[in-house]
Structure 1
Amino acid sequence: MGIVYDCAIIGGGIAGLQAAIQLGRYNRRVLVIDAGDGRSVQCRGYNNLLGWPEGVSGAELRQRGRQQAEKTGVQFRQGKVEDAVLAEGRFRVGLEDGQTVYAKRLLLATGIVDRMPDLPGLLPCLGRSIYVCPDCDGYELMDQKAVVLGAGKVGAQMALTLSYWTKDIVFINHESTPIDEKLSGQLQAMGIEHRSEPIARLVESDGHLSEVTLKSGESIHVRKGFVAFGGNEVRSELAAKLGVKLHENKHVLVDPRTKMTNVEFVWSAGDVVAHSEQVAIAMGDGVQAAIWIHKSLLGIAVPRHK
C-alpha cells in the first residue's frame, strides 16, 4: 500500500491551502493534489481581504500558501483525481495518470469554474478592472461608468445588483439570450442601457480596461466591468461519486460547524460548498475543516451533515 497520508486534500486553491497549513501545523502527514486550473489561478486581484488594501492576486496567494504549507512538511502533487473509494478503512484515490494515493481522511476543495467566453483581453482584466463577485468588488465601481458582460437573466440581474454602486451601467447581452418583460422593465426603470449583440474584444493595458469593442465595430469606452454568464461549473462530481449529498445547485452540503459531509471522514471546503464563494470564507472553511480532521484523527467524534 505504501504511504498512507493522514489527509489527502483534493484542490490546491485558497481553502485547500489554508487547510493544509493548519494540518501541517498539527504535524499531520498531508498531501495536496492540485490540477492547477481553479478560479484563484485566473484572478489577478482580490480586493476585499484584511491586510491587502491594494489587492493581492490569486497566483501570489497560492504561491505564498504553498511555501507556508511546505515549511510544515505538507507535500504537493500536480494532477487530476479520477475517483476515490473507501477500501479497508482507507480512502484509495485514483489519479488521472494511473497513480494511487491512500489517505485516512479526505478534504474536497475542488472549487468552481466560471463560464466565460473566449474574448481577447478578458483574462488579464479579471480582478483588476473586470470582476465576478458584486459582494467582493461592487465597491470598485463606485460612481463610475461600468459594463456588464453577460447573458440573459443572469447578466440583467447582475446589472441591477450593481446599480447600488453606480447608476451608469451598460449591459451587453453577448449571447443575445432573451430576458422577460419584467426584467427588461426593471433595467429600463433603473436607466440601465441594454445592448443585445456580441462582443468582439476588450481593449486593455496591463489588466486595465479602456474599451469594449462590439462585433458591429462600435466601441464603448469604460474602465470597469463585471462578467455574468451563468452556468458556472461546480466541481462536485467526485463528491457525488463518494455518496456526498449535494444542494440542488450541485454545491456540497456540510455540517456548518465541522465542515464534514454526510459521508464519514469526508470533508469539503471553499467555493464548492454551498454559499461560500468568498476568499475569506474559503480560508475560514479550510481552517475549520482542518481542526475537525485533526480531532477525528485523535478519535474524537465529529458531527457530520445529516
Structure 2
Amino acid sequence: MQYDCVIVGGGFAGLQAAIQLGRYRHKIAVVDAAEGRSAYCRNYDNLIGWPEGVSGMKLRAAGRLQAERLGVRFIAGTAVTARRRTECFVLELESGEEITGARLLLATGVKDRIPGFRELIPCLGISVYICPDCDGYEVADQQVAVIGSGTAGANMALTLRHWTSRIIYINHETADVPGELLAQLAGQDIPYYEQPVAKIEVEDESQFRGVMLKDGTAIRCSKSFLAFGGNEVRSGLAEQLGAGLTDNRHVITNPRTKLTTADYVWAAGDVTSHSEMVTIAMGDGSQAAIWIHKSLIGTFDGRNP
C-alpha cells in the first residue's frame, strides 16, 4: 500500500500534522518509535487548557487516538533509511519493513544530552527541566542547581537569573568556561563548582532535592536545570534525501510551507530551526500539513524552484 504521506515521528509536530492530514481525508501513516523529548517529560505546564500540567505521554496518547479516529495508521518502529523512487519515497524500518508514500514529513526531533543518572528521568518536567522558556517560571524564587557542561551550563545559569537569584552552576563535565562568562557568574552571585556530580538526591521518586559532588560536597536544592549542549539533531533521513542542513544539522525549511530543499519532503518540529516548544512544534505540524495537502491536490507544486 502506498500512502499519500508518511510522517516519521510521533511527537507533537508529527501528531498535529497527522490529525490535519487525516481531516483532509488523505491516506496517512505515522512511523512512531515512541521516544523523544515528549516521551520522557512528565509534565508540561505552559499549554493552554492544562493549568495543572499534562504529561507528554498522556498528550501523545490523546493525539494518537484523535488521529486514529480519522483513519491515520500508526506503525511502531524506527526508520533507518529513506530513498526516492520515481513517484514515491521508500522508508525502511529497523525490522526490515518497507513503507512507501507520495510525500514525506520528517518530524524526527532532537535527542537531549542527559547525564546517566537514572534518578533524573522521573523528575523531568516535575522538578528537573531543560528549557528555560518553557519552565523558567517553575523555579521562580527557588534554589536551583544548573547541572551542565562548560559554556552551555553557564549561559543557562545566567538566563535563569530572570526568575530567581538562588542559583548555583555545577560544571559536571568540567568543560572550559571562558573567563568572561565566569566573571558574569560572579557578578550575578552565582556560585560555580567545577567537578562531577557523584549522586543525585531525590524524594518521592520525582522530587529533586540536590546532589553530592565527587569531593563529597552536598548541595541541597529543590529544582534543577540540565544544560549540556551538543544535542543530537535527528536529521539523518533528511540528509539521505539530499535536504539542506544548517551548520548544527537542523533541517532547512521554507518558513511558510515547511518544505525542505528536497522536493516533496517536509520537516516540522525540533528537527528544524525554531524555538523548541510544544506549541510551536504543533504549529509547524499544522503548517506543513496544509502545504502537503495542497501539493497532493495539485494547487502547490511541492518542488523547489
| TM exceeding 0.5 | yes
User: C-alpha deviations, 1:184-223, integer Å up to 9, x for none?
Assistant: 1110000000011111222222311122222223221111
User: 1:6: which partner in 2?
Assistant: 4
Query: TM-score, normalised on structure 1?
Result: 0.96
User: C-alpha deviations, 1:34-92, integer Å up to 9, x for none?
Assistant: 11221111111111111111111111111111111111110011111121112121111
Q: CA 1:20–1:192 in structure 2 vs 1: closer, same or farther (change >3 Å)? A: same
1:154-233 correspondence runs (5 A) = 154-204=152-202, 205-233=204-232
Distance in 2 of aligned mates of 1:305 and 1:250: 20
Q: 2:102 aligns with which of 86, 98, 104?
A: 104
SS across alignment from 1:271: helix
User: C-alpha deviations, 1:155-184, integer Å up to 9, x for none?
Assistant: 001001111111111101111112111111
Q: CA 1:192–1:305 in structure 2 vs 1: closer, same or farther (change >3 Å)? A: farther
User: 2:244: which partner in 1?
Assistant: 245
Distance in 2 of aligned mates of 1:179 and 1:54: 37
- How many percent of aligned residue pairs carry the same amino acid? 53
> Which residue type is aligned with residue 36 of structure 2?
G
Distance in 2 of aligned mates of 1:24 and 1:283: 15
> Which residue type is aligned with residue 180 of structure 1?
P
- Kindly indicate whether the alpha-carbon contact (under 8 Å) linking 2:7 and 2:30 is maintained by their aligned counterparts in 1: yes
Q: Which moved more, 1:280-289 or 1:199-208?
A: 199-208
Query: TM-score, normalised on structure 2?
Result: 0.97
Distance in 1 of aligned mates of 2:259 and 2:303: 5
Distance in 2 of aligned mates of 1:304 and 1:281: 25
1:114-153 correspondence runs (5 A) = 114-153=112-151
Structure 2: state its 5+ residue gaps. Answer: none
Distance in 2 of aligned mates of 1:89 and 1:281: 31
Distance in 1 of aligned mates of 2:46 and 2:88: 39
Structure 1: state its 5+ residue gaps. Answer: none
Q: Which moved more, 1:178-187 or 1:212-221?
A: 212-221
Aligned pair count reads 304
Q: How far off is 1:228 after superposition?
A: 0.2
User: 2:84: which partner in 1?
Assistant: 86
